[in-house]
Structure 1
Amino acid sequence: MRTMKLGTSSLEVPVVAVGCMRINSLDKAGAERFVQTSLEQGANFFDHADIYGGGTCEEIFADAIHMNDTVREKIILQSKCGIRKGMFDFSKEHILSSVDGILKRLKTDYLDILLLHRPDALVEPEEVAEAFDQLESSGKVRHFGVSNQNPMQIQLLKKAVRQPIVANQLQLSITNATMISQGINNNMLNDSAVDRDGSILDFCRLNDITVQPWSPFQYGFFEGVFLDNEKFPELNAKIDEIAAKYSVTNTTIAIAWLLRHPAHMQPVTGTMNIERLKDCIKASDVHLTREEWYEIFRAAGNILP
């Protein structure tokens, strides 16, 4: 699979990341096949979070990949922390204890990347900085990032945090593309001009922060997938037309649409279906034309001023 640099780091990563949020839906043999197929396809970047399956997803993954030192050298592990029952928590104590739990469940000594999962209203940047410094100096975490944060929240962290923010994981798909449509409709008197995220896409591009789109096939907030959905007839017709041209599936085109954006995004898959995962990975080899990208954008109901 094609690779890219993650943010300002020296990490060379696949352009498609494998999300492991649903790996607990597989039996042992299924999990082993899924992980092995990922590696065979060159998809060696695995995204986790301490809340996925209450931690069981990280345990299942470690068992499925038969984690040892040799295996660890061949993969890139990312996990997230900061969500607790009924609250968000970026305190130093919680970050440090969360990472210890993550490492134990993944059966490894270090994470390649740690992301702060959702913004904590009570965040104290100095505490985050102390936690990051301790994790870096101990070798437990090599790179740091955030998830679901806007520019000012990142700037607030950077007031104290000295490590580069290499990634920002954000909800983005063809049908959930307000961070793109807002820029196009800037200064227009329509709903698409509403700035919901502080121009986070432009901010990440300006600061060399890799955007990692999550739920790349979802519409709304986990309402369902838009592919083959009767609610989106025009969009599916256009995607199917372009998929036929490239001799790939609609899944491939949905990911290729994200990869075509010059922000050099790294979509995070969520499927546990091996064939669908392969289709996602094939997007690495599909380069949509400018015309095709805009045709899909408009077919999703996005307007051009």
Structure 2
Amino acid sequence: MKRLNIKGTDLNVSKIIMGYMRIDSLSLKETERLIRTAQESGINFFDHADIYGGGKCEEHFANAISMNSSIREEMVIQSKCGIRKGATGYYDFSKEHILTSVDGILKRLQTDYLDLLLLHRPDPLMEPDEVAEAFDQLHESGKVRYFGVSNHNPMQMDLLQKSLNQKLVVNQVQFSLAHTPLIDSGMSLNMNTNNAIDRASSTLEYCRLNDITLQAWSPFQSGFFDGPFVGDTKKYPELNQVLEKVATKYQVSPTTIAVAWITRHPANIQVVLGTTNVGRLQESAAGAELELTREEWYELYSAAGNMIP
């Protein structure tokens, strides 16, 4: 498994991250097998959030592997906070909520510290100085080593970074072959096309310029949880045809190619897997080892319905 350094940290991490949004539907034995298979595939990075399963997923993860200090040291663990459930759901970056959330996360994961804490979705009511106080307290206490965000645009990151004493080192965003706003407008600049609309606020370029590691969530989804595009020959016939063609060339699965398309990008984007299927996990992990040609990368992008000017 290829690894990378998250700039600004001492974390040497796998290009593939295992996400555990749905593991509360598995037995402890099935969950342990999923985690062990990930490790055997070279994955050392594990992603959580306090809202996954209402916290049950973090607890399930720790119980499945009988978490202890020696097991913990073999892992890089991140979790996210900031989303709260209510009548409609809401976001909360208050100091009190961040500190309380981390204490709950650590208790459920049966660990004394997180390698990374991400703020899950932008809170329009955020007070940057209040977030900074929370981060200082978490860092000084040793509860969190490094910090990042998820689904944030450049100005939101700048606004937050202005108050922080710690550098934001990660931004987790949605990105897949069938969801490409991160790169679309940059390829269609000044054109009267749908792809020219800047929906990503140059987030990819900003993160590259500021040494912020991007993590791609929902690498097999089209749209906002509209379903997987791999195998959907009704909605994505041309894309699946090209996926099959390239997969046959390399003697791998289309899933492997879908991952390889993301990891081929020079931004060194990590891929967050949410699968609970061991076979799909292994197919996905293989994608980090395969480097597509430039021509194959563009052919896949075009087959997904994108115009190459």
TM-score bracket relative to the smaller structure? over 0.9
Task: Provide the aligned C-alpha RMSD in A.
Answer: 0.7
Tell me, in whole angstroms, the C-alpha distance in 2 between the residues paired with 1:172 and 1:257. 11
Tell me, in whole angstroms, the C-alpha distance in 1 between the residues paired with 2:257 and 2:210. 28
Code of the aligned partner of 1:191: N
1:251 aligns with 2:255: yes
| Alignment partner, residue 283 of structure 1 | 287
Tell me, in whole angstroms, the C-alpha distance in 1 between the residues paired with 2:227 and 2:257. 18
| Alignment partner, residue 172 of structure 1 | 175
Secondary structure (helix, strand or coil) at the match of 1:218 reads coil
Code of the aligned partner of 2:208: R
Contact 1:204 1:210 in 2 (8 A): yes
| Alignment partner, residue 42 of structure 1 | 42
1:298 aligns with 2:298: no
State the 1:186 CA deviation: 1.1
State the 1:32 CA deviation: 1.2
Contact 1:7 1:165 in 2 (8 A): no
| Alignment partner, residue 21 of structure 1 | 21
Secondary structure (helix, strand or coil) at the match of 1:29 reads helix
| Alignment partner, residue 53 of structure 1 | 53
Code of the aligned partner of 2:178: T
| Alignment partner, residue 8 of structure 1 | 8
Q: Deviations over 1:78-122 (max 9, x none)?
A: 000000012100010000000000000000000000000000000
| Alignment partner, residue 234 of structure 1 | 238
| Alignment partner, residue 269 of structure 1 | 273
Tell me, in whole angstroms, the C-alpha distance in 2 between the residues paired with 1:197 and 1:289. 26
1:101 aligns with 2:104: yes
Code of the aligned partner of 1:33: R
| Alignment partner, residue 88 of structure 1 | 91
Secondary structure (helix, strand or coil) at the match of 1:143 reads strand
| Alignment partner, residue 70 of structure 2 | 70
Q: Size of the alignment, in residue pairs?
A: 305
1:196 aligns with 2:205: no
Secondary structure (helix, strand or coil) at the match of 1:78 reads strand
Tell me, in whole angstroms, the C-alpha distance in 1 between the residues paired with 2:23 and 2:12. 25
Secondary structure (helix, strand or coil) at the match of 1:287 reads coil
Give every structure 1 segment of 4 or more consecutive aligned residues whose post-TM-superposition deviation is greater than 2 Å: none
Tell me, in whole angstroms, the C-alpha distance in 2 between the residues paired with 1:91 and 1:248. 46
1:120 aligns with 2:143: no
Tell me, in whole angstroms, the C-alpha distance in 2 between the residues paired with 1:32 and 1:152. 40
Q: Which runs of 5+ in 1 are unaligned?
A: none
State the 1:164 CA deviation: 1.2
Tell me, in whole angstroms, the C-alpha distance in 1 between the residues paired with 2:75 and 2:201. 34
1:158 to 138, 158, 161: 161
Tell me, in whole angstroms, the C-alpha distance in 1 between the residues paired with 2:37 and 2:263. 22
Tell me, in whole angstroms, the C-alpha distance in 2 between the residues paired with 1:138 and 1:129. 14
Indicate the percent of aligned positions where both proteins have the same amino acid.
58
State the 1:192 CA deviation: 0.4
Secondary structure (helix, strand or coil) at the match of 2:18 reads strand
Code of the aligned partner of 2:196: A
Tell me, in whole angstroms, the C-alpha distance in 1 between the residues paired with 2:242 and 2:36. 33
Greater CA drift, 122-131 or 32-41: 32-41
| Alignment partner, residue 218 of structure 1 | 221
Tell me, in whole angstroms, the C-alpha distance in 2 between the residues paired with 1:39 and 1:219. 28
Code of the aligned partner of 2:155: M
Q: Please, what TM-score do these two structures have when normalized by structure 1?
A: 0.99
Tell me, in whole angstroms, the C-alpha distance in 2 between the residues paired with 1:185 and 1:55. 42
Q: Deviations over 1:22-61 (max 9, x none)?
A: 1112112111111111111111210000000000000000
| Alignment partner, residue 205 of structure 1 | 208
Secondary structure (helix, strand or coil) at the match of 1:118 reads coil
| Alignment partner, residue 142 of structure 1 | 145
Tell me, in whole angstroms, the C-alpha distance in 2 between the residues paired with 1:42 and 1:209. 23
Q: Deviations over 1:135-157 (max 9, x none)?
A: 00000000100000000000000
Tell me, in whole angstroms, the C-alpha distance in 2 between the residues paired with 1:62 and 1:82. 22
Secondary structure (helix, strand or coil) at the match of 1:224 reads coil
Secondary structure (helix, strand or coil) at the match of 2:117 reads strand
Q: Please, what TM-score do these two structures have when normalized by structure 2?
A: 0.98
